[in-house]
Chains A and B, each alone.
Chain A
Amino acid sequence: MLSVKGIPAGAALGLVMTALFLFAAVFAPVIAPYGMGEIVGGVWEPASENFWLGTDNLGRDLLSRMIYGARTTILIAALATALSFGLGSVLGFLAAVVGGWLDTGLSRFVDLLMAIPTLIFGLVVLSVLPSTVLTLILVMGILDATRVYRLARAVAADINVMDFVEAAKLRGEGSGWIIFREILPNALSPLVSELGLRFIYAVLFLSALSFLGLGVQPPEADWGGMVKENKEGIVFGIPAALIPAAAISVLAISVNLVADWILNRTSSLKGGRGHA
């Protein structure tokens, strides 16, 4: 089992920060001091006892919007990651194990999708689709699934040609046993760490889109959009836009640290034995 003592400092910090963000996202209405769209003060007031992070370009409480923003950003990114992961890993595994025309067809199509930079293709598609949350999740999830597909297929294909899988085939095992008992346990640790990276990527992608005005639409609060709303203040020396930008960075770094740690832990082939 996981023992608290065995966690390295970096990973522990990552875990705590990630948990904090998740807590804020889940309990946003409870912990936010003010409403999301409530105008409570002057424009760009500095941090004070009433407004811990100051106010934004319309005089709304920045901290409250950050907390609600956590909710929007994390939810959309998580759903997009779930979609990309489900789609990418299932198709990637299938392609590796079934092979043949299914593999060729899927792989060529993914090559094609990946020949266009994700952000550019996202922008092209968003130029004709309505900017709704559902569209965002679908576009981000499908575009990102290509990366997961590549990894899942490569990992599964590597394992599929190992002697122990051949031994299982010689024994007469069905595809179910081979995929779930032979391949999956060995593919899990690269995939889990990829899950973290995909989530970070989704957060960054969503934030970039919102920053460009093409993601989450106002008055909804999300971190990328908040940077856009407050960016005019920067030239006057008002750091309001830097706060949501920093939050994105901290979330991404925290998840990265956790993903790294999980990868190191689960790649041990002694079933977690031999650790402190």
Chain B
Amino acid sequence: MAEQNAISSAALSDASAPPAADAGRRPASPILRLILKRVGQGILLLFAVSVLIFAGTQILPGDVAQSILGQSATPQALANLREELGLNQPAYVRYFQWLGGVLTGDLGTALSSRQDIASALLPRLGNTLFLAFWAAFVSIPLAIILGLLAVRYRNGWVDKAISGLALASTSLPEFFIGYLLVFFFAVPQAWMAMPWFPAISTVYDGMPFWSRMQAIALPAAALTLVVLAHMMRMTRAAILNVMQSAYIETAELKGLSQFTIIRRHAFPNAIAPIVNVVMLNLAFLVVGVVVIEVIFVYPGMGQYLVDHVSKRDVPVVQAVGLIFAAVYITMNIVADIAAIVANPRLRHPR
């Protein structure tokens, strides 16, 4: 975190420097400058987001202590909780105390269980990333291949099926997909002697890899289905956009084979938009994890968040919310950096 801060201040001073100053010194590389600037902006955004999340839980109308304890709370209990939450101090002091803690890895203590949030969160973060990783591992190559197929057989039935799927996927709630999978693959049905997968994805420390994989099979499948169609459609649009460029026609008129055209002329220009699509969908996937984890009672961050929202455990909600936002923002930064790096105009300035 400290290291990132160093980057951010460098990037920020760069961003705020007047354009005239650029003419004087010779920048190392415009690409590096742009990337640093983007990362700097991202870190700045993250700080702004931390303010917003803090403000969202602290300054909204109503008394936090009251809403935590409910209407029937005794004045004494309310006073104690206010003291504990530091509500007697001004909001900005509390914010900086909280931020200082977050930056040094101290996420505070959960109100409901008195547990240290950071140590409770770490294994759950691992579980969530494990699930998201395997969902991404399946969905990304699948989406890209299907997207390519849709372009290859444009306006054919493959393409139409993909459009239909995409329409459905923007319309189906995650729990519908999740419970359909449970209903057909985790509940005794006529076609299988016994359920193929567990309906509840229990994982524990020291669990063998294959059992763990079997446990996450259904939630990973559900997540894959949630993002797949969307990712396919965006991949298709990105590739089509490239394939309709004039330089592809030039390549065709050179008599190159279809394969060479795609490899040499389309692919280098399609990387950036595809990486962009993938990153945006990963961000989407990380959020989709919340509902999926609840469906399969999977011990990840999403379930942890939902549990503590109902318990009105503000410190936990803040911490988890911030982590989700950080992951989301990071994905978006990576997408932008990919676009910067892949742009020949920036890589080879005039």
Q: How many residues of A contact B (CB 8 A)?
A: 45
Closest chain A residue to B306, Cβ basis: A212
B30 CB, min distance to chain A CBs, angstroms: 24
A116 and B179 in contact, given A125-B60, A129-B67, A253-B171 (Cβ under 8 angstroms): no
Q: Are B321 and A124 in contact, with the CB atoms below 8 A? A: yes
State whether B171 touches A200 (Cβ < 8 A).
yes
CB-CB nearest in chain A for B199: A235
A248 partner, pick from B173, B189, B309, B312, beta carbons under 8 A:
B173
A130→B48 CA distance, assembly (Å): 25
Which chain B positions have C-beta within 8 A of A211?
173, 175, 291, 294
Whether B130 sits at the interface, judged by CB under 8 Å, is no
Among the stretches B5-13, B120-128, B135-143, B180-188, the one at the interface with A is B180-188
Chain B residues packing against A (C-beta within 8 Å): 45, 48-49, 52-53, 56-57, 60, 62, 64, 67-68, 167-168, 170-176, 179-180, 182-183, 186-189, 199, 283, 286-287, 290-291, 294-295, 305-306, 308-310, 312-314, 317-318, 321, 324-325, 328-329, 332
Smallest Cβ distance from A148 to chain B, in angstroms?
Answer: 17
Indicate which residue in B168, B179, B308 contacts A234 across the interface (CB closer than 8 Å).
Answer: B179
CB distance from B45 to the nearest CB of A (A): 5
Residues of B within 8 A of A212 (CB): 290-291, 294, 306, 309
Contact B321 A119 (CB under 8 A): no
Quick one: given A124-B57, A124-B318, A214-B306, are A115 and B62 in contact (CB under 8 Å)? no
CB–CB A245/B173 < 8 A? yes
Cβ contacts under 8 Å, A245 to chain B: 173, 175-176, 179
A26 at the interface (CB under 8 A from B): no
Contact with B along A31-52 (1 / 0, CB 8 A): 0000000000000000000000
Known: A128-B67, A245-B179. A112 touches B52 (CB 8 A): yes
Q: Which residues of B contact A127 (CB under 8 A)?
A: 57, 308-309, 312-314, 317
Question: Is A231's beta carbon under 8 Å from chain B?
Answer: yes
Question: Do most interface residues of chain B lie in helix, strand or loop, or is the interface mixed?
Answer: helix
The majority secondary structure among interface residues of chain A is helix
Q: Chain A interface (Cβ within 8 Å of chain B)?
A: 111-113, 115-121, 123-130, 197, 200, 204, 207-208, 211-214, 224, 227, 231, 234-237, 239, 241-242, 245-246, 248-249, 252-253, 256-257
A118–B310 alpha-carbon span in the complex (Å): 18
The answer to whether B179 touches A241, judged by C-beta atoms less than 8 angstroms apart, is: yes
Give chain B residues whose Cβ lies under 8 Å from the Cβ of A117: 283, 286-287, 324-325, 328
Chain A residues near B176 (CB-CB < 8 A): 242, 245-246, 248-249
- Tell me if B182 and A234 are in contact (CB < 8 A): yes
Partner of B290, one of A115, A119, A128, A239: A119
15 further A-B contacts with Cβ under 8 Å, apart from A129-B67, A212-B290, are: A117-B328, A120-B328, A121-B53, A121-B321, A123-B317, A124-B309, A125-B60, A128-B57, A200-B171, A207-B175, A212-B291, A214-B310, A227-B175, A235-B182, A235-B186
A123-B309, A214-B309 known; A234 vs B56 contact (CB < 8 Å): no
Whether the Cβ atoms of A204 and B321 lie closer than 8 Å is no
Of chain B, the residue at the smallest CB distance from A237 is B187
Report whether A116 and B52 are in contact in the complex, using a CB–CB cutoff of 8 Å.
Answer: yes
Q: In the bound complex, do residue B179 and residue A128 qualify as a contact, i.e. CB atoms below 8 Å apart?
A: no
- Residues of B with C-beta under 8 A to A235: 182, 186-187, 199
In whole Å, how far is B113's beta carbon from the nearest beta carbon of chain A?
15
Report yes or no: A129 in contact with B62, Cβ–Cβ below 8 A: yes
Whether the Cβ atoms of A116 and B321 lie closer than 8 Å is yes
A153 to B189 alpha-carbon distance, docked (Å): 52
Is there contact, CB below 8 Å, between B328 and A116? yes
Task: Give 14 A-B contacts (CB < 8 Å), ordered by A residue.
Answer: A112-B48, A112-B49, A116-B324, A117-B283, A117-B286, A124-B57, A124-B309, A211-B291, A212-B309, A231-B295, A234-B187, A236-B187, A253-B171, A257-B167
| CA of A256 to CA of B325, assembled, Å | 29
Cβ–Cβ < 8 Å partners of B183 in chain A? 234, 237, 239, 242
Residue ID in chain B nearest A246 by CB atoms: B176
The 4 closest A-B CB pairs, nearest first, are A252-B171, A245-B176, A117-B287, A127-B317
Contact indicator B52/A204 (Cβ below 8 Å)? no
B52 partner, pick from A113, A119, A248, beta carbons under 8 A = A113
Q: Complex Cα distance A132/B211, Å?
A: 42
